[in-house]
Structures are given as structure tokens and as C-alpha cells.
Structure 1
Amino acid sequence: MRALIESIITSLVDHPEDIKITETEENAKMVYHLSVHPDDVGKVIGKNGRIAKAIRTVVYAAKTDSNKRVYLDIM
């Protein structure tokens, strides 16, 4: 899942070396925290949050463990 998120985000940003993805597991959910360079935040979020929503949709659809909920937090 981490590789999927990284491959999507890398193609969107100008500073791919500043991408940081951390994952935390809590009870029945996996939370992925995405951090990018301040100049790239707008590119990842997109106009009215459309790109962020599309990224979340792809990540949710690709989850492998059906018992765990997956969340993507973009910072």
C-alpha cells in the first residue's frame, strides 16, 4: 500500500525527495500519514480537493485486508 501511495504522489510533485509516508496501526484500522514539500501541497490536494479524493479512492479500493479500514491523511 505504501508503494502505491508513493508511486501516485511521486508523479504529482516537484520535490519527490520530500515525500514522507508513515503508517500507524490502530485496532481495526491502518492510517497512512502523507507529508510533502510545502510547495507541493496544493498539487496533491488539487482544486476543491479533487485529487486528494481520487487518491483516497484508489487507496481504499486497493486495500488487501478486508477486516481493516484504511485511512489516508494528507498533511
Structure 2
Amino acid sequence: MDQQMRPFRDEVKDIILSILRTMLTNESDVNVTYTAGSRTTVYKVECHPDDYGVLLGKNGRNIEGLRRVTMAMTTRFGSRGIIELPDIPKDEFFND
């Protein structure tokens, strides 16, 4: 079954990548990889640290929207898609 799902997973990855490159300033630094399980695919998003704020959006709205779109695409094929973000060091991003 994994080989049957590979083209679909690649297509979802490409769609996520396209959306992110449209949203973010440093589009050449955007990368999406995935790890496939039997029923769940984890899409790992990496971007330039300067783009974290845009990626997350106000109150997490941007990343939540992207996660919902991903879930809608993957549910159609009886699968589950999760977007994972890199660890964002608090001292680099948040000004306390």
C-alpha cells in the first residue's frame, strides 16, 4: 500500500511547498519532507528563521489553516496528514 500512496504523498508535499513559497519571503529556504506511516504521513516544514512569524500567523491562524487544508487533502484517501514544525527557540523568535 505504501508504494500506491507515494505519488499522492508527493503531490500533497508539492502543494504544501507551493503554498509556503507563495507565503514566505525567503522562498528558496523552504523545504518540506515527509515520513510515511501505515495510515499517517508527517510532513516536516522547514523555513528561514525570519519567516517563522508569517508561517505561524497571528494566533497561529496561518499554520492552522495549512494544517486543515493538508488534513482535507489526505482524508480523501483514507489517510491522515500532520504538519510538523521545527523547534523554534524562544530566545530567537519571541521578544520578552
Q: Fold match, TM over 0.5?
A: yes
TM-score by length of 1: 0.90
Greater fraction of residues in helix? 2
1:65: which partner in 2?
77
Q: Deviations over 1:24-75 (max 9, x none)?
A: 0123210000000000011010011001001111111111521x21111122
Q: What secondary structure does 1:30 align onto?
A: strand
Q: Please list every run of at least 4 consecutive aligned residues from structure 1 whose deviation after the TM superposition is greater than 3 angstroms.
A: none
Out of 6, 9, 14, the residue aligned to residue 25 of structure 2 is 14
1:30 to 32, 41, 46: 41
Root-mean-square deviation (CA, aligned residues, Å) is 1.1
Q: C-alpha distance in 2, partners of 1:65/1:74?
A: 23
In the alignment of these two chains, the number of paired residues is 74
Alignment partners' CA distance in 2, 1:69 and 1:61: 9
Bigger strand share:
1
Structure 1 unpaired stretches of 5+: none
How big is the shift at 1:15? 0.5
- 1:40 matched residue in structure 2: 51
Task: Identify which of structures 1 and 2 has the higher relative contact order when contacts are C-alpha pairs closer than 8 Å and 6+ apart.
Answer: 1
Pair member with larger Rg: 2
